[in-house]
A and B are shown apart, each in its own frame.
Chain A
Amino acid sequence: MSVYRLLTLVICSTLSSLVYSQEQLSVSGSLDNNTYFYLYDEKIVPPGIPQYERQQIGLETWLSLRAQIAGFDFGMRYDMFENSALLNPTDSYTEQGIGRWYAGKKLGKLSILGGYIYDQIGSGIIFRAYEERPLLIDNALVGLKVAYEISPDWTIKGIAGRQKNLFDLYESVLTGINIDGFKSFGEEGKVTIAPGFGATHKTLSDAQMDALAGTLSQYTPEDFIDSVPYNTVSVTLYNTLSTGRFSWYIEGAYKTQEVINDIYATSTLWTGVESVGKFVLTDGYVFYTTLSYVGDGLGLSAQYKRTSNFVSRADPFVAGNRGLIDFLPPMARVNTYRLTSRYAPATQELDEEAFQIDARYAVNKKLSLLVNYARITRPEAEENRNIYDELYTQFTLKKPKKWTMIGGVQFLRYDQELYQGKAGVPIVEAITPYIDYLYKFDQKKSLRTEVQYMSTEQDYGSWLYALAEFSISPHWLFELSDMYNIAPTVKEDGKEGEKLHYPTAGVVYSAGSTRYALRYVKQVEGVVCSGGICRLEPAFSGVKLNISANF
């Protein structure tokens, strides 16, 4: 009898006996499906992409099921990637299988969870196992989590396992501990603290170390590393202090020496020439703090972060979005409008110093204002030092139950060479005014329109974007939009780029917790970011169908 059959038998027997024990079984689930019908358009889609050349249809699906009974918690997720462009924008990825399973039980103050675990320590700086489907990030820790409630306000948890790598596992082993607490002071508890401590320990496998040693053994004397630790420890200490209208979060994390891939370091080759990028042996740290004030219609927050060599991966050779053990908080505003979100900065794990200030003020019930400023630098870099500046302004004007108008201007400075790795391209400087107007005809029908204009002389040049969304509550939404390259930049051959339209037309139908969206889309190449993690989103031409359901 195979292990899987035995496991299935054990789970079924357990469930059967639990069902017969007359405890109430609760079963729930969800479906998330994206299907793409590819229609080649030579003006916007580069040649040689298999989905357009021959495959025609691609899809990604996540089907989750969860069962709870008698304090037990079981879950499973089936993942499908068929001709998917998520892994590699210029290729297709096809694989399917069990993407996640878990089983857990709470025993008084002790809770146990085994399988594929999503969790984090503090703000995630030393450890965060999470899923971000649009970026194909699924960093579940496959192993065991045990948590114990020491008191109502204090919890200690331990984790152990290996990180998920698509349908496989990375070879390194990760263990960790986390203590979270809460304490209030004063008679009315006006001052509270929520301190925490976390530590992780990573061990490279013999195969990973052999591979690393193989590469390091070829280094010239200038770059040579004598010895490499098998183990890396990361520790973090954090606290949230709340008093009245103020809240202050502070976190400091340190990682012991390990070999990391420094993509900006100068290396000396055996040929005598210099190149860029090599493994270096170094420790790393992150300092992160945020202070906020809320009261009398005013909301203020200030954030600061300093990162140095905090590369934390499940395998020293992986790069990009793969094998991330940690999560470094992004330091720029998460914009939602099409053009204001076009140039989003990816978090820099080797060298980054950033601050962000955000101020919101409600003048009255009808008018509120927002100003946000973010600045990101690389203080240790010789080139590409000041990499991101953004000043974002917004007003919201409302006539209750009738209309809402949101508008503002974004001023942006974005180092495209660094963030997108495009050689020699200039800093993108863009000014983007935008306006969003929602008009409610009655309780069911409403029309939302957006107009945005990005004025820039870099990259593709200036853009005009317009959108109209007609909604018939609670079921229907019709949308029509166009992104128009109204003033393209002049190319290297001296010719002006073509003024292209990227239209989208779609209909969305919602019924309860089920949502169907069908869109015809032409989409320009861009960068998609979530939480400071970014990937190149290739141009798209075709039809997208999205089905999401909870049951």
Chain B
Amino acid sequence: MADQNKPSTFLHLYLSGVLWISLMLGGCYEEQRVIQPFVPTGNRVVLIEEFTGKGCTNCPKGSRELENLLTQFPNNLVVVSLHAGFFANPQFFPLGTYDLRTEEGEFLIEYLSQPLGYPSGVVNRTQVNGEMQLSLNQWASAVTSAIQTPPAIDISIVRTYDVQSRQLIVTVSGIGKEALSGEIRLSIMLTESGIIDAQDVFEAGGIVEDYEHKHVLRDMMTPVTGAPVLSSITTGQTFSESFTKKLDAGWEADKMQIIAFVSLVNGSDFPILQAASVHLAE
């Protein structure tokens, strides 16, 4: 009996295998997604909050990617590098001269969720596939996606900086482009580039003492989760808020930027609706 079954067994196997492979290989090469270079249009400005640290050997790669994206989206992207968390802690990585952490950065790394690896970035405080923290090869995709949605609010920044007193006044004005329910909050960050200090760099094989740190968060002029400006907004509704700050003596004003952004807060969701940036010194 066993011998009689053999041809049937092999026939079954052969036909099953051939059928399956034909189906799979046939389907495999037909469906392709054509990739088109993306050229941004419109006035949506997206914010990347990058989490980094001087002890993070792969973080210079993140910094390069930020510059890459800024080159590509000069009018549609603003970035801030937050030295926060494990790799930024000088107790564990006593590198260089400065502690580039801020209280706001340490708060935001918890508020926006701890990254699974560094460098990590949050794009417009919006989750992608359930994740708020994105690895650097996801930033471009998230930025591209966000840019294509017109801003629900337009914002502009007016600043006055007195060199003698180092007093900075920032006024952010906004106008609703569509009706939104939920609290509108305004955040203003001060960043500094051109900070020369140590950094662990994988490609350099270790510590680089004169590494240039860019877009480093120095302080916030608003509360860390934003200053409430409206409980909701309608089309055409406007707001304007001013904040004052005396710059720290150690900061170089001509290398600093003011970043402003508005978020729509609904419970545990707080996506950024629009961002803007200007150089601090005129």
Contacts and interface: CB of A to CB of B under 8 A. Distances in A.
B9 A214 contact: no
A30 interface: no
Given A151-B5, A271-B64, A179 B13 contact: yes
B137 A201 contact: no
B95 to A, nearest CB: 9
A410 B39 CA distance: 57
Contact of B17 (A46, A179, A210, A277): A179
Given A207-B129, A211-B129, A214-B141, A199 B31 contact: no
A424 B206 contact: yes
Contact of A177 (B20, B25, B144): B20
A414 B185 CA distance: 52
A276 interface: yes
Contact of B13 (A91, A154, A276, A278): A154
B128 interface: yes
Interface in A58-107: 87-88, 90-91
Nearest to A492: B207
B59 to A, nearest CB: 11
A387 interface: no
B161 interface: no
A216 interface: yes
B61 interface: yes
Contact of B128 (A201, A211, A217): A211
B92 A46 contact: yes
B206 to A, nearest CB: 3
A156 B142 contact: no
A315 interface: yes
Interface in A266-283: 269-271, 273, 275-279
Contact of A213 (B33, B65, B203): B33
B32 A177 contact: no
A207 B138 CA distance: 13
B34 interface: yes
A308 interface: no
A328 interface: no
B148 to A, nearest CB: 10
Nearest to A87: B116
B117 interface: yes
Contacts of B200: 423
Contact of A151 (B9, B21, B37, B72): B9
Interface in A135-158: 150-151, 154, 156
Interface stretch (A31-39, A122-130, A220-228, A244-252): A220-228
B137 A270 contact: no
Nearest to B139: A215
Contacts of B207: 492
Contacts of B35: 213, 216-217, 224-228
B68 interface: yes
Contacts of A90: 85-86, 114
B135 interface: yes
B16 A179 contact: yes
A401 interface: no
A38 B272 CA distance: 37
Interface residues of B, number: 62
Given A317-B137, A423-B201, A48 B33 contact: no
A276 B31 contact: no
Contacts of A199: 17, 20-21, 24
Contact of A317 (B16, B27, B114, B138): B138
Interface residues of A, number: 64
A214 B69 CA distance: 12
A180 to B, nearest CB: 10
B269 interface: no
A214 to B, nearest CB: 3
Interface in B179-232: 200-207
Given A88-B116, A319-B135, A212 B13 contact: no
Contact of B38 (A48, A214, A275): A214
Given A231-B31, A423-B200, A47 B92 contact: yes
Interface in B7-64: 9, 12-13, 16-17, 20-21, 24-25, 27-29, 31-38, 57-58, 61, 64
B97 interface: no
A275 B135 contact: no
B89 A215 contact: no
A215 B20 contact: no
A192 to B, nearest CB: 16
Contacts of B137: 215, 261, 277-279, 317
Contacts of A177: 16-17, 20
B164 interface: no
B204 A215 contact: no
Given A179-B16, A271-B64, A319-B117, A171 B129 contact: yes
A156 B86 CA distance: 50
A320 interface: yes
Contacts of B145: 210-211, 214
B67 interface: yes
B28 A233 contact: yes
B61 A275 contact: yes
A226 B34 contact: yes
A150 B205 contact: no
6 contacts: A48-B85, A90-B85, A177-B20, A229-B31, A270-B68, A275-B64
Given A177-B20, A224-B37, A423-B201, 14 more contacts: A47-B91, A90-B114, A201-B27, A207-B129, A214-B141, A214-B144, A215-B138, A217-B37, A228-B32, A233-B25, A256-B25, A256-B29, A277-B61, A423-B206
Nearest 9 CB-CB pairs, A to B?
A: A214-B141, A424-B205, A424-B206, A91-B114, A269-B68, A218-B140, A217-B38, A423-B57, A423-B202
